[in-house]
């Protein structure tokens, strides 16, 4: 009997739990704790209205997970799909465009278009997504383009094409050119705004993908293709058809996500919808254990990677609060690098390879420490905590930036007037101290890793 999770996936599950606990502790509003209490305290309101943060994480996990499954299948097959975000924008825009063409007056007057129009628009959108996946496979298998170049081309082109189509159709149907299409149909929006439809769809697609990869001959062939394409081809397996299947699945799942995102955001916005989402999908797959070299990865691991990313992003939003979206890309990128680096570190250490040896390694240690200093300083000015009011004795607790609190304590500022006159000095000192602490911590961790890899290399050399 196979285990439900691999060892790395249990570690990822533990990491998710750690992120949730840290968020609950560092969030000065204690949103997680309050929602947990409200959930078990009962009441007249439905359970999902008592935990809005939990419902949002579940819904956003379903959205991201749907197209991350497609990205994982492509990566397992030895490819890469950079076009997921643009396919989301294109598919959502195409679905809205079909609804405009099928019911122009209803769309213009913000009245229901009817279930037949919605079903037909979604069906046509999925057909076009299948053609996009076929086009990717043709560029890769027939033309001979690397997957990176083939999907990069559609990453750039599909978003512009979507905007051009939306502007042309709105001008023809309504007599006025518009770069977006608003969606007011409550039945269409319910597909995304309900709790159970996105989650149920996500579960069905995840189980189907898991069965495909782990219980079918096609799944074993996909793993073989990613592991060694030439050997797979020499074995008589049609590798081109496997690639066609993988890229069509990725495009179709991105289209499904695009339809849901349009419903959630109440409109098709081709210039912004799905921007950068391809990185999130790849990040979820890689964090979940997929190897970018192909042939390695699981659907359960990818799902845990999706949940991990969503809990991290939600945690940052609750800790930083204002302007948290500014740091989302940095966080996702860092998570991907750390996940891949730790995997490589674990595998390479068994062969005696050292990551921080030589001049380049020492400079990298310095780079990481300086990055820690910068992150610490930025966090000091953006992360707020609830502390006793340092300016008015007996006053209720107040919220304050971490850097400000550190500077006030170190300089022993005891009045608001003094703080306002020396604000730059106080905040700067707090940033310097916090940045230095974080940088020193990063340098210490890297130094410990360096010592461990040196010891491992010595053991391997002796053996």
CATH of the domain at 242: 1.10.3470
DSSP letter string, 320-379: H-TTGGGGHHHHHHHHHHHHHHHHHHHHHHHTT--SS-HHHHHHHHHHHHHHHHHHHHHH
Q: Show which of 328, 350, 372 is a domain's final residue.
A: 350
Using CB atoms within 10 A of its CB, is residue 216 exposed (0-12), middle (13-18) or buried (19+)?
A: exposed
- Provide φ and ψ at 415, rounded to 5°: -145, 150
Q: Nearest Cα to 99, choosing from 251, 272, 259? A: 259
Domain count for the chain: 2
- pLDDT at position 304 is 93
Q: Are both 366 and 277 inside the same structural domain?
A: no
Residue 6 is assigned to a structural domain of this protein? no
Q: Are both 226 and 153 inside the same structural domain?
A: yes
Count of CB atoms situated within 10 Å of the CB of 49: 11
Q: Are both 416 and 382 inside the same structural domain?
A: yes
Residue 1 is assigned to a structural domain of this protein? no
- pLDDT at position 458 is 67
Q: What is the pTM of this model?
A: 0.85
pLDDT digits (tens, 9 = 90+) for 272-302: 898 889 988 998 998 888 888 889 999 999 9
Q: Are both 440 and 320 inside the same structural domain?
A: no
pLDDT digits (tens, 9 = 90+) for 231-260: 999 999 999 999 999 999 999 999 999 999
Does pLDDT of 91 surpass 50? yes
Per-residue pLDDT band at 306 (split at 50, 70, 90): very high
Of 162-171, 317-326, 384-393, 402-411, which gets the smallest average pLDDT? 317-326
| Strand 384-387, strand 398-401: pairing | antiparallel
Q: Nearest Cα to 383, choosing from 310, 318, 438? A: 318
CA 48/CA 334 separation, integer angstroms: 32
Per-residue pLDDT band at 43 (split at 50, 70, 90): low
CA 365 to chain centre: 27
> What average pLDDT does the segment 457-463 reach?
63
Does pLDDT of 46 surpass 60? yes
Taking all residues of the chain, what is their mean pLDDT, rounded to a whole number? 88
- pLDDT at position 1 is 41
Using CB atoms within 10 A of its CB, is residue 411 exposed (0-12), middle (13-18) or buried (19+)?
A: middle
Residue 139 is assigned to a structural domain of this protein? yes
Q: Are both 287 and 364 inside the same structural domain?
A: no
Q: Show which of 319, 350, 381 is a domain's final residue.
A: 350
Residue 4 is assigned to a structural domain of this protein? no
Per-residue pLDDT band at 24 (split at 50, 70, 90): confident
pLDDT digits (tens, 9 = 90+) for 337-396: 776 676 666 666 666 677 787 888 889 899 989 999 998 898 888 888 888 888 888 788
User: Token digits for 110?
Assistant: 């913000």
- Provide φ and ψ at 291, rounded to 5°: -95, 130
- pLDDT at position 343 is 65
- pLDDT at position 99 is 93
Residue 17 is assigned to a structural domain of this protein? no
Q: Are both 230 and 321 inside the same structural domain?
A: yes
Q: Are both 208 and 297 inside the same structural domain?
A: yes
Q: Are both 61 and 188 inside the same structural domain?
A: yes
Q: Are both 339 and 417 inside the same structural domain?
A: no
Please name the residues in contact with 12: beta carbons below 8 A apart, sequence gap of 6 or more: 287, 288, 289, 301, 304, 305, 308
Q: Are both 329 and 282 inside the same structural domain?
A: yes
> Which range marks the domain in which residue 325 is found?
54-350
**SS3 for 399?**
strand
- pLDDT at position 111 is 87
Render the burial of 131-170: b for 16+ CB within 10 Å, e for the rest: ebbebbbbbbbeeebebeebbbbbbeebbebbbebbbebb
Q: Which long-range contacts (CB under 8 A, 24 or more apart) does 343-349 make?
A: 343/291, 345/449, 345/453, 349/452, 349/453, 349/456, 349/457
- pLDDT at position 453 is 77
Q: Are both 284 and 425 inside the same structural domain?
A: no
Per-residue pLDDT band at 52 (split at 50, 70, 90): confident
CA 192/CA 189 separation, integer angstroms: 6
Residue 118 is assigned to a structural domain of this protein? yes
- pLDDT at position 120 is 96
> What average pLDDT does the segment 75-104 reach?
94
- pLDDT at position 345 is 67
Q: Show which of 350, 379, 409 is a domain's final residue.
A: 350
Of 11-20, 85-94, 133-142, 216-225, which gets the smallest average pLDDT? 11-20
- Provide φ and ψ at 181, rounded to 5°: -130, 120
The tokens 């912004």 sit on which residue? 272
Provide the H-helix boundaries in 147-276.
147-174, 186-193, 196-215, 217-227, 229-234, 239-265
Residue 12 is assigned to a structural domain of this protein? no
Structural contact between residues 268 and 96, judged by C-beta atoms closer than 8 angstroms = yes
pLDDT digits (tens, 9 = 90+) for 381-427: 888 888 888 888 878 888 888 899 999 999 988 888 888 899 999 99
Please name the residues in contact with 311: beta carbons below 8 A apart, sequence gap of 6 or more: 16, 19, 20, 23, 57
Q: Are both 317 and 365 inside the same structural domain?
A: no
Residue 47 is assigned to a structural domain of this protein? no
């Amino acid at each position: 009997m196979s285990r439900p999770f691999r060892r790395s996936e249990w570690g990822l599950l533990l990491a998710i739990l750690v992120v949730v606990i840290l968020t609950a502790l560092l969030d000065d509003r204690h949103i997680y704790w309050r929602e947990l209490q409200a959930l078990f305290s009962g009441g007249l309101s439905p359970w999902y209205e008592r935990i809005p943060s939990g419902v949002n994480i579940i819904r956003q996990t379903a959205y991201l997970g749907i197209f991350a499954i497609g990205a994982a299948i492509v990566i397992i097959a030895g490819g890469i799909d950079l076009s997921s975000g643009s396919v989301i924008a294109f598919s959502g825009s195409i679905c809205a465009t079909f609804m405009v063409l099928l019911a122009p007056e209803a769309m213009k007057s913000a009245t229901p278009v009817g279930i037949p129009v919605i079903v037909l628009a979604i069906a046509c959108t999925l057909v076009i997504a299948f053609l996009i996946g076929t086009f990717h496979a043709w560029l890769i298998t027939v033309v001979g383009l690397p997957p990176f170049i083939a999907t990069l081309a559609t990453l750039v082109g599909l978003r512009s094409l979507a905007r051009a189509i939306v502007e042309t159709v709105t001008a023809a149907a309504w007599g006025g050119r518009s770069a977006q299409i608003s969606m007011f149909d409550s039945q269409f929006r319910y597909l995304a705004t309900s709790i159970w439809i996105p989650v149920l769809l996500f579960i069905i697609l995840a189980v189907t993908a898991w069965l495909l990869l782990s219980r079918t001959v096609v799944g074993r062939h996909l793993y073989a293709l990613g592991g060694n394409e030439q050997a797979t081809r020499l074995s008589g397996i049609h590798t081109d058809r496997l690639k066609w299947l993988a890229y069509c699945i990725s495009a179709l799942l991105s289209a499904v996500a695009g339809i849901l995102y349009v419903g959630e955001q109440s409109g098709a916005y081709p210039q912004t919808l799905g921007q950068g989402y391809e990185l999130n999908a790849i990040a979820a797959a890689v964090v979940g254990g997929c190897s970018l070299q192909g042939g390695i990865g699981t659907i359960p691991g990818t799902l845990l990677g999706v949940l991990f990313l969503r809990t991290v992003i939600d945690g940052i939003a609750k800790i930083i609060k204002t302007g948290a979206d500014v740091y989302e890309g940095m966080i996702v990128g860092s998570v991907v690098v750390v996940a891949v680096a730790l995997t490589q570190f674990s595998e390479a250490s068994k062969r005696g390879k050292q990551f921080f040896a030589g001049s380049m390694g020492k400079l990298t240690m310095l780079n990481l420490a300086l990055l820690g200093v910068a992150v610490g300083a930025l966090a000091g000015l953006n992360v707020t905590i609830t502390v006793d009011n340092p300016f008015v004795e007996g006053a209720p607790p107040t919220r304050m930036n971490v850097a400000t609190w550190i500077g006030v304590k170190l300089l022993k500022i005891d009045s608001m007037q003094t703080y306002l006159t020396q604000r730059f000095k106080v905040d700067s000192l707090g940033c310097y101290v916090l940045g230095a602490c974080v940088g020193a911590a990063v340098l210490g961790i890297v130094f410990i890793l360096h010592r461990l890899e040196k010891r491992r290399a010595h053991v391997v050399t002796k053996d």
